[in-house]
Amino acid sequence: MSSEHPEQQAEQGADKLPAHTEEERREQPVVRKGMFGAGTTGDTSGYGGLIVRQSPKVSAARPYGGPGGAAEPGEYDEIADELERAYPDFGDAVERVVVDRGELTFFVKREHLREVAKKMRDEPSLRFELCSGVSGVHYPKDEGAELHSVTHLLSITHNRRVRLETTCPDADPHIPSLVPVYPTSDWHERETYDFFGIIYDGHPALTRIEMPDDWVGHPQRKDYPLGGIPVEYRGAEIPPPDERRSYT
């Protein structure tokens, strides 16, 4: 039963990822159990029985549609077609295309990222002039692609948005910096490096921007401890999750 609200209808229509039945989800590997990685009764969230499974890496099928739906070809198909025309190595550069909840994401291999970004910026039919942000994601169980860097692009000319997502392994956390293409990504890449440990090669000054310069680790990674870090207030210390009181 679909919603009568226009925004919800657009979201439902634009979601091209395949739905999974309960039986299909059970076949997917378990990433973790419980909240915050706690494996004992110290899980204070009350959701110790939570099971998080690894979603399969899928690609959206044509037509991609646009923000308002995907029943027929739309602006997302135009963006993909124009990028493929402008960048001959499109097939090698773009691992997959995902249209989910009315948003378009190109998964770009890191060795092609800067050239793809230049085409997105300079091609008249694309003209994504502005990088509105760079963010990171950490998937500890995504072997060989544990770290994700997500670049958010905006075309002021065509009033369109798109994302470029690039992955790298924990063992080699290097991704080309987009500062030479989008200078506004300077501080965003520094923040992502600070919190996730992604090294942006070619960045003019890749230093911490939120945490102290001598801070050890990257606080927004999922393997970073949630507690046990001294707080500079009368010697107080936050205990790690498995040492807190349980409410279950």
Give the pLDDT confidence of 100-143 residue by residue, as tens digits: 888 999 999 999 999 999 999 999 999 999 999 999 999 988 88
Rounded CA-CA distance 195/210 in Å is: 8
Kindly report, residue by residue over 31-87, the tens digit of the pLDDT.
667 665 555 555 555 566 777 776 777 889 999 999 987 778 999 999 999 999 999
| Average pLDDT of the segment spanning 173-179 | 98
For residue 88, cis peptide bond before it (omega within 30 degrees of 0): no
The pLDDT, as a whole number, for residue 200 is 98
Q: What is the pLDDT of residues 206-225, one digit of tens each?
A: 999 999 898 889 999 988 87
pLDDT of residue 123: 98
pLDDT, tens digit, 9 for 90 and up, residues 142-167: 889 999 999 999 999 999 999 999 99
Predicted confidence band at 174 (pLDDT cuts at 50, 70, 90)? very high
Distance between CA 201 and CA 180 in Å, rounded?
11
Q: In this structure, what token pair is assigned to residue 38?
A: 């706690």
**Contact predicate 120/128, CB 8 Å:** yes
> Is 95 exposed, middle or buried (CB count within 10 Å of its CB: 0-12, 13-18, 19+)?
middle
**pTM (two decimals):** 0.78
Could you give the maximum distance between any two Cα atoms of the chain, in Å?
62
**What token pair was written down for 63?**
């037509």
Pair 245, 38: CB distance under 8 Å: no
Q: Six-digit token pair at 107? A: 């998964």
